Structure 1
């Protein structure tokens, strides 16, 4: 099923591009930006069923990352509407801080990477100002990129504990809706602010001694990027 979905997405990408050669004005370019991301309900998944966590505090801190890649903007003939398919690389995830009554502290980070494939439907209400809505499917590239740092025995057990988290938590593919606000200058420079709303569980829990709880963990990402178009309208 996953393979079929990937093929459908690629098919839409390239068929849209071929159609656009006859009916649209096409520009293409590269973009790069920074982002801040979170994963919902991660604290509940990690706390599990261990009673020693009862007097603890676990806070979500989010994670910073990068997003960049290739875009193709196909502006429909004689309209203020465009279809913009994209292939992007994205780093996102979550960081949580833990403290309990015994003085134990640790920081756990899930640092996931994705190949993002999708498209935006863009409307230009005034000159280069544009509003966009679309969807992106993220193919997981790093399901077990986990960091763990603690004050327990000066970090003596950090490597072993990190392995428990790597074995118990797997990053999965992501699917998100995208809402965008952008502006395109005549000099081919683009500014883009986006919010990605995840609609799919991105963390799968496995059987382990930590007894993680399977939960619905969805991503949310805010991204600001700068793009350059190689061809103007």
Structure 2
């Protein structure tokens, strides 16, 4: 039994020593996974301060969405660092839930979709394990994708209110800083997890009759992806 454990440990160590793309070569890859994102400050934007706080309750819930795209990779020669530019399609947003003392319940879902352009600096302390960090710019390609539903449509048709919300709350470009970690296996599989912190307002509040106000609405969230890396073949 002891010899079996020694053999397994040796195999793991041997695998780990080679569990990374070769340095000074170029690779491209594909990745897909899930986002878990939220948007801050929605309550302040939507609810006027004239309403007493004890008359209502609100909750901003993160949304789970798909993320996927392509990336490029280069490991610097004789170095523990690499660079990874990437282009990702991502579904990000939040659900804003409201309930008041008059039994009105409604949910506003911000179902934004982004094309994210980012670049990561990856540092490998050992084998294929790495830390990574870098900036990202997200272009909102569905900046009016807001859904509204309530339990009292007689107060105003949900579709009519939804259209009005889409006209006054516009999704904006997002800028993030990504921090994360991952592991690159020698056979091409790459697993990464990251935290993303928004640096700017992502909702523009236009002139409206709802008494909505302009406010700082920043994103934050988590992302887990699985990718496959492929070397560029010389001609």
* Global fold match (TM > 0.5): yes
Task: Work out which of the two has the higher radius of gyration on C-alpha atoms and give 1 or 2.
Answer: 2
Residues 142-194 of structure 1, C-alpha deviations (whole Å, 9 max, x = no match): 11001111000479611011112111110000000000110011110010001
1:19 aligned residue: none
- Say whether the 8 Å CA contact 2:45–2:212 is kept in structure 1: yes
Range that drifts further, 147-156 or 59-68: 147-156
Aligned-residue offset at 1:98: 0.6
- Unaligned runs of 5+ residues in structure 2 are 1-22
Find the counterpart in structure 2 of residue 224 from structure 1: 224
Q: Which moved more, 1:53-62 or 1:144-153?
A: 53-62
8 Å contact kept, 2:25–2:231: no
Aligned equivalent of 2:11: none
Deviations 1:182-216 (Å, cap 9, x if unpaired)? Answer: 00111100100011100011000011110211111
Q: Deviations over 1:28-71 (max 9, x none)?
A: 11000101100011111011356387611110111111111111
Which blocks of at least 5 consecutive residues in structure 1 are unaligned? Answer: 1-22
Cα distance 1:91–1:218, how it changes in 2: closer, same or farther (>3 A)?
A: same
Q: Which residue is equivalent to 1:186? A: 186
Aligned to 1:108: 108
The residue that corresponds to 1:7 in the other structure is: none
Q: What TM-score comes out, normalization by structure 2 length? A: 0.85
Number of residue-to-residue matches in the alignment? 210
1:56 aligned residue: 56
CA displacement 1:110-157 (0-9 Å, x = unmatched): 011111111000001110100001000011101100111100047961
Q: Considering only aligned residues, what root-mean-square deviation do their CA atoms show, in Å?
A: 1.8
TM-score, normalization: structure 1? Answer: 0.86
Question: What pairs with 1:117-132 in structure 2 (closer than 5 Å)?
Answer: 117-132=117-132
